């Protein structure tokens, strides 16, 4: 493939709730752009991006897969991301390196729980988005209801640019409100033709075009001036304004279709090219690294595949150009690495290329220790890019090899797993000596253990899942005095501190720890104040109830004293640690447990059984709606009570019930 100019590159992700049709959209994009010659189907296990055996067995996306294709003279680098909440860290790492995204919504369900989660993730990264309302061929599909849910639940400004032709099984095409042309897809190969707008839709199309013009004119100054002058907007002005509003995040262009039936994908690709940003449209990384192929090389590693035959490191190149044989600096690891091969990836297949430059997403072979989040750059121009954030694990299982001879292999395999997925944490329990694997959910750990069995050929025994508890202060103490004095020959240690401990409330309540000092008159020098803070952080590792981490507390250093010879940073750090430990023991403490927002969809006749089961699981119902014989129940449930819930729900609903979860933080443990 010819290397396109940077302005003709689009790096985008496909985001959605599980089962919204995300992978099917990706497969149709690959087919229509000629990247593959046979349409893949999720239900047949023949998709390109869901290539892992577990993904095909379970019918869901688990691992973010990168693919490339060409459309209308543009290179599209696309990442199909997972839609299940347990794999949201894969979405986070992908969004960190993407310039734009297509959010896929189910035309029947609208905005679903994980849709909202990935949308908020994209908000945090400032990623411009298009919305694609999928499955318009399904019974109950309604574009307007889906658009309303985008507005109401996501707080976005949706701008529909299409009108569906036909409803449900009769959905055959769309009216393009910018060109005022109808596009109708034939059955079979999905070929489509541009036609005049049907007479029975002409009035509605004109009304929607008018509403679109008015909405754009309200948001865009240039469009507003033309609208005042001409009382309408030209297609060119409307298209330019929609691109500006998409890039700024002020509005979201909404398209629609049915990916399974190959309807609506070509206009979606046209919209990706027209509205989503090129790498050159994005602000310089860290404000100093421009998207320029001639600048010093700078890239961010966002994914690692550590296989038995070698390591592939996926990188987004932000600046400069890299070629085979070049040497780069890993500024996080502090070592230089040689690039042996550069690969343009198509999911589980790859094509070797000679070089990569600013705007590219490629895999490199050669770096031996670069982890996800590492910055690779020109050794002569070192720079550190902000790495993707990693969520804290909430569920743990004990894992051990069935055969004692496999213990070493298990340790190596677990290290590779955590290298590929930083949200998996491996540790050794100091009390039991067991190896503990921690992750973001029950399914997350199930997939990791299955990889050990399938990919590494290991027979392992897995304990019952355990959740990660926290402790916090319900009622603190004031004026706790601690004196650290040690004199055993040579230089002594002296530190005198007085602290207040209280729970955090208000806007800072989501923070784990806040430390302030009100000491005046230089009674405790600033370097010792920092040492006291460090000591307090040391004490937060284990709380007095059960040795769980302590969160949500404010510590204030109110007074102290020093010794001219025996005071030191070490002495004050020790004093801070023991002072906070004493304060925690003297306070009223509360045990916190992780909770999840659960959305259960069941036949209306099964609601009573589901509500009773949720109550038995200490769930708190927050919403309940019924539509068309289907009930949707939303509840907040302790995570520990959700283990095994899938099979229980199937049993209570004759296999017709489904549920999704979303982390909802921590709450006081209820009996």
Which residues are annotated binding-site positions? 16-23, 80-84, 134-137
- The answer to whether residues 174 and 143 touch, using CB atoms and an 8 Å cutoff, is no
CB-based contacts of 538: which residues, under 8 Å, 6+ apart? Answer: 573, 576, 577
Supply the DSSP string of 443-477, one letter for each residue.
HHHHHHHHHHHHHH---EEE---EE--EEEEEE-E
Phi and psi based region of residue 245 (left: phi greater than 0; alpha: psi -120 to 50; beta: remaining): alpha
Please, what is the angle between helix 607-616 and helix 645-652, to 10°? 150
Phi and psi based region of residue 237 (left: phi greater than 0; alpha: psi -120 to 50; beta: remaining): alpha
- Percent of the chain that is helix, strand, coil (3-state, to 5): 30, 35, 35
Which residues are annotated binding-site positions for GTP? 16-23, 80-84, 134-137
Integer distance in angstroms from the first to the last C-alpha of the chain? 62
**Pair of tokens at residue 324:** 């085979």
Alpha-carbon distance 397 to 58, whole Å? 21
The distance of Cα 554 from the centroid of its chain, to the nearest Å, equals: 29
What values do phi and psi take at 599, rounded to 5?
A: -115, 115
Alpha-carbon distance 149 to 105, whole Å? 10
DSSP H helices in 389-525 = 407-420, 442-456
Alpha-carbon distance 255 to 153, whole Å? 18
Which residue from 388, 395, 404 is spatially nearest to 449, judged by alpha carbons? 395
Token pair 């897995």 is found at 462
- How far, CA to CA in Å, does 95 sit from each of 13, 18, 86, 120, 129? 7, 17, 16, 11, 11
Alpha-carbon distance 4 to 75, whole Å? 7
CB-based contacts of 549: which residues, under 8 Å, 6+ apart? Answer: 470, 471, 540, 541, 542, 543
Alpha-carbon distance 668 to 145, whole Å? 37
């Amino acid at each position: 493939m010819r290397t396109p100019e940077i302005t003709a590159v689009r790096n985008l992700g496909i985001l959605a709730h599980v089962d919204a049709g995300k992978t099917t959209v990706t497969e149709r994009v690959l087919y229509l752009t000629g990247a593959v010659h046979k349409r893949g189907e999720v239900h047949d296990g023949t998709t390109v991006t869901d290539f892992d055996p577990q993904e095909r067995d379970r019918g869901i996306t688990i691992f973010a897969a990168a693919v490339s294709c060409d459309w209308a003279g543009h290179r599209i680098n696309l990442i199909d991301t997972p839609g299940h909440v347990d794999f949201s860290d894969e979405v986070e790492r992908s969004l960190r390196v993407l310039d734009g995204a297509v959010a896929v919504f189910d035309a029947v369900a609208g905005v679903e729980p994980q849709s909202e989660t990935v949308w908020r993730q994209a908000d945090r990264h400032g990623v411009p988005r298009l919305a694609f309302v999928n499955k318009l061929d399904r019974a109950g599909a309604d574009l307007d209801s889906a658009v309303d849910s985008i507005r109401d639940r996501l707080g976005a400004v949706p701008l529909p640019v299409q009108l569906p032709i036909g409803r449900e099984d009769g959905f055959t095409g769309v009216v393009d409100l910018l060109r005022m042309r109808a596009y109708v897809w034939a059955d079979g190969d999905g070929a489509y033709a541009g036609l005049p707008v049907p007479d029975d839709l002409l009035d509605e199309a004109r009304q929607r075009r008018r509403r679109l013009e008015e909405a754009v004119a309200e948001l865009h100054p240039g469009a507003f001036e033309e609208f005042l002058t001409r009382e309408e907007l030209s297609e060119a002005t409307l298209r330019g304004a929609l691109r500006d509003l998409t890039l700024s995040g002020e509005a979201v262009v909404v398209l629609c279709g049915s990916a399974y039936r190959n309807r609506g994908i070509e206009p979606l690709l046209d919209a990706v090219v027209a509205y989503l940003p090129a790498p050159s449209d994005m602000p310089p990384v860290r404000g100093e690294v421009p998207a320029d192929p001639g600048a010093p090389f700078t890239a961010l590693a966002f994914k690692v595949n550590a296989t038995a035959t070698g390591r592939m490191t996926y990188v987004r190149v932000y600046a400069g150009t890299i070629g085979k044989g070049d040497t780069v600096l890993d500024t996080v690891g502090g070592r230089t690495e040689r690039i042996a091969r550069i690969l343009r990836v198509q999911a589980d297949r790859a094509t070797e290329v000679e070089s990569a430059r600013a705007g590219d997403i490629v895999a490199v072979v050669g770096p031996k220790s670069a982890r996800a989040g590492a910055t690779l750059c020109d050794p002569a121009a070192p720079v550190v890019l902000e790495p993707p954030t990693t969520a804290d694990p909430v569920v743990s299982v004990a894992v051990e090899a069935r055969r004692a001879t496999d213990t070493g292999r298990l340790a190596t395999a677990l290290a590779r797993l955590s290298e590929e997925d930083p949200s998996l944490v491996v540790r050794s329990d100091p009390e039991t000596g067991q190896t503990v694997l921690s992750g973001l959910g029950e399914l997350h750990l199930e997939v990791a253990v299955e990889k050990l069995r399938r990919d590494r050929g290991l027979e392992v025994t897995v304990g019952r899942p355990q959740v990660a508890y926290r402790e916090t202060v319900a009622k603190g103490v004031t004026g706790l005095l601690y004196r650290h004095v040690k004199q055993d020959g040579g230089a002594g240690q002296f530190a005198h501190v007085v602290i207040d401990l209280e729970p955090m409330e208000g806007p800072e309540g989501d923070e784990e720890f806040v430390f302030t000092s009100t000491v005046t008159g230089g009674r405790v020098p600033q370097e010792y104040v920092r040492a006291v803070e460090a000591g307090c952080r040391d004490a937060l590792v284990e709380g007095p109830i059960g040795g769980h981490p302590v969160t949500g507390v404010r510590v204030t250093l109110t007074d102290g004293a020093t010794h001219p010879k025996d005071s030191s940073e070490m002495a004050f750090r020790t004093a801070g640690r023991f002072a906070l430990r004493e304060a925690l023991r003297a306070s009223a403490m509360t045990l916190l447990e992780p909770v999840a927002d659960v959305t259960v969809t069941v036949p209306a006749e099964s609601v009573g059984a589901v509500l009773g089961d949720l109550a038995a699981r200490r769930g708190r119902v927050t919403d309940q709606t019924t539509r068309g014989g289907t009930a949707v129940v939303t509840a907040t449930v302790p995570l520990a009570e959700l283990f095994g819930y899938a099979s229980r729900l199937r049993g209570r609903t004759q296999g017709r019930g489904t549920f999704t979860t979303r982390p909802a933080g921590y709450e006081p443990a209820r009996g």
